[in-house]
Amino acid sequence: MKFAASTVFAVLPVLVAAHGADNLHARHLQGRQVPPAAAAVSSSSSAAAPPAGSAAAPPAGSPASAPPGSPPGGTTAAPGGTTAPLPSFTLLATNPTAAPLSVINSLQPSSATIPLPSTAVVGSTPTFLSNAPPLPNAALLNPANYPKLDVPPPIDSDEVQQWIKEVQDTGVEIPNLNPTNPGGCPNNTAAAADQTRCWWTCGGCTRSTDITQCPTALDWGLTYDDGPSFYTPNLLQFLDQNNLKSTFFVVGSRAISFPATLQEEYMGQHQIAVHTWSHPPLTTLSNEEIIAELGWTKKIIKDVTGVTPNMMRPPYGDIDDRVRAISLAMGLTPVMWTRISPLATFDTDDFDIHGGLTTVQQVLQNWENILGNVSTMSNGFIVLEHDLFEQTVEVATGYILPDALAHKPPFNIRPVVNCLNRDLADAYIETNNNATNPPAFSAAVSAGALTTTAAPAGQTGGSGGSSGSKSAGVSLHASSLLSLLGLLFGGALALHL
């Protein structure tokens, strides 16, 4: 359908409210992808800068030439008004119907969206999931029963108080860590230097309970964040046409705005996972606020699909041991994206096209850098992409995915749960096989990677904007990492300390 300009501008500010200026600034303080040749030394570099020189473009019309519309070479207006050379890249294949690169930018007018191919039948039972409940009637959802869109939920509701008690009842030791300040690493020098808190944002620290890659080489755990959105159906159409399945990390505020799209993702056998209610950097929140963000998103996904996800991705990758402990206590395994050094991650930076902070050419250069590093890895990988904006969907369906499908040797593109060699049913609490795939929290405790104690009655692990619980702190023990990996994913995950 085609939206009038007035309609689009009335709606889009709501969609992007979850990504405020402070959060975007923090996002840009994190590492980006670097060329393969620089990967070995990037950890000692002061910044993950774009490549100083790129491979020359092939002759026009060759199979690997960049697509028409905005070919490699020339110049473009860089953020800040300066003129910079366009990054050079080559693609094996593109979508013949792709939007020209010259129109994929922050100023492009909104184009027509694609209607959902079908509407899920209320009460139907998914045949692809054992023991799945019938599909709920999303038309009965009452937005008044949920928090306001794109703002942190209050912590004094009956629902949040119940979730706080459930976390308390697990006995998990939540680290006594102060919430971080907005603004990322430069505005949190002490926290960034504290390696014991394992803050992914500043340095890339991960624990055994974090999923960062796929165990098998050439496996790509395909993920999209921040939807559903107006243009998610466009992405779904391409995925369906090419028999591809993905993991969608869903923002709760989007789920209640686009319940039919969420149902279509679920019934299309894509994996649904949690991406918080309002997309804040989680380390900046109190314990109770983190619980509210995760709890409401779990709830709306279950209310729309009938099942509860058991994986989550922290917005901006912003996670430390306090956020990990709460996530695991709520039955959610953290899923990051592949990171090859403290300053280099498998992030296409597609999100920033919409805001004019990067160009589509740079995104495709980032993608080529990812491919170059993939060829040197003995394991599979996970890439950060988004389905929130028209630009992110167009670069995915027009360029990145067609290029990936033409790759030789071929990639095995599938949802994260499948790239971990698990069935799709293991992605949801109601259908998970607990005997072969122990729930995240119990697996961590059984392996000794997560410590619990008998929590005093009424202790919630901090209140309001407080720093956290008064317990000794979570222990993600290095000595228990391998046994945890075996419990969770049959020893398939790579070890990251």
From first to last of its 497 residues, the chain has per-residue pLDDT tens of 333 333 332 333 333 333 443 443 334 344 455 555 544 433 333 333 333 223 333 323 233 333 333 333 344 454 555 566 778 889 999 999 999 999 999 999 999 899 998 888 999 999 999 899 999 999 999 999 999 999 999 999 999 999 999 999 999 999 999 999 999 999 999 999 999 999 999 999 999 999 999 999 999 999 999 999 999 999 999 999 999 999 999 999 999 999 999 999 999 999 999 999 999 999 999 999 999 999 999 999 999 999 999 999 999 999 999 999 999 999 999 999 999 988 889 999 999 999 999 999 999 999 999 999 998 899 999 999 999 999 999 999 999 999 999 999 999 999 999 999 999 999 999 999 998 888 888 888 887 778 888 544 433 333 333 333 333 334 444 434 333 433 343 333 333 33
- 233 preceded by a cis bond (ω within 30 of 0): no
CATH code, 269 = 3.20.20.370
Sheet holding 412-414, edge to edge: 381-382, 219-221, 412-414
Q: In whole angstroms, what is the distance from residue 382 CA to residue 220 CA?
A: 6
62 in a domain, yes or no?
Answer: no
Range(s) of the domain holding residue 246: 133-172+194-447
Q: What is the pLDDT of residue 83?
A: 62
Q: What are the structure tokens assigned to 221, written together?
A: 């755990």
pLDDT at 66: 36
Task: Report if residue 355 sits inside a domain.
Answer: yes
With b for 16 or more beta-carbon neighbours within 10 A and e for fewer, the 384-422 pattern comes to bbbbbbbbbbbbbbbbbbbbbeebeeebebbbbbbbbeb
**Does the residue 276 lie in any domain?**
yes
What is the SS3 assignment for the chain?
CCCCHHHHHHHHHHHHCCCCHHHHHHHHCCCCCCCHHHHCCHHHCCCCCCCCCCCCCCCCCCCCCCCCCCCCCCEEECCCCCEEECCCCCCCCCCCCCCCHHHCCCCCCCCCCCCCCCCCCCCCCCCCCCCCCCCCCHHHCCHHHCCCCCCCCCCCCHHHHHHHHHHHHHCECCCCCCCCCCCCHHHCHHHHHCHHHCCCCCCCCCCCCCECCCCCCCEEECEEECCCCCCHHHHHHHHHHCCCCCEEEECHHHHHHCHHHHHHHHHCCCEEEECCCCCCCHHHCCHHHHHHHHHHHHHHHHHHHCCCECEECCHHHCCCHHHHHHHHHCCCEEECCCEEECCEECECCHHHHCCCCCCHHHHHHHHHHHHHHHCCCCCCEECECECCCHHHHHHHHHHHHHHHHCCCCCCEEECHHHHCCCCHHHHECCCCCCCCCCCHHHHHHHCCCCCECCCCCCCCCCCCCCCCCCCCCCCCCHHHHHHHHHHHHCCCCCCCC
Write down the pLDDT at residue 117: 81
Catalytic-residue membership of 387: no
CA atoms of 361 and 87, how far apart (whole Å): 6
212 in a structural domain:
yes
Domain annotation covers residue 345: yes
Q: How many domains does the chain have?
A: 1
Catalytic residue selected from 210, 219, 225, 403 = 225
386 is catalytic: yes
Q: Tell me which residue of 178, 385, 155 sits closest to 289, measured CA to CA.
A: 155
* Residue tagged active-site, from 279, 352, 386, 426: 386
Residue 374 within any structural domain of the chain: yes
Neighbours of 73 (CB within 10 A): 14
Is residue 324 assigned to a domain? yes
pLDDT at 375: 87
Return the pLDDT at 496: 34
Q: Would you state the structure tokens that stand for residue 460, as one six-digit string? A: 């919630």
**Residue 262 phi, psi (nearest 5):** -60, -40
| Residue 61 is assigned to a structural domain of this protein | no
How crowded is the C-beta side of 263, counted as CA atoms within 13 Å? Answer: 26
> In the structure encoding, which two tokens stand for residue 99, read together?
């939007």
CA 363 to chain centroid: 17
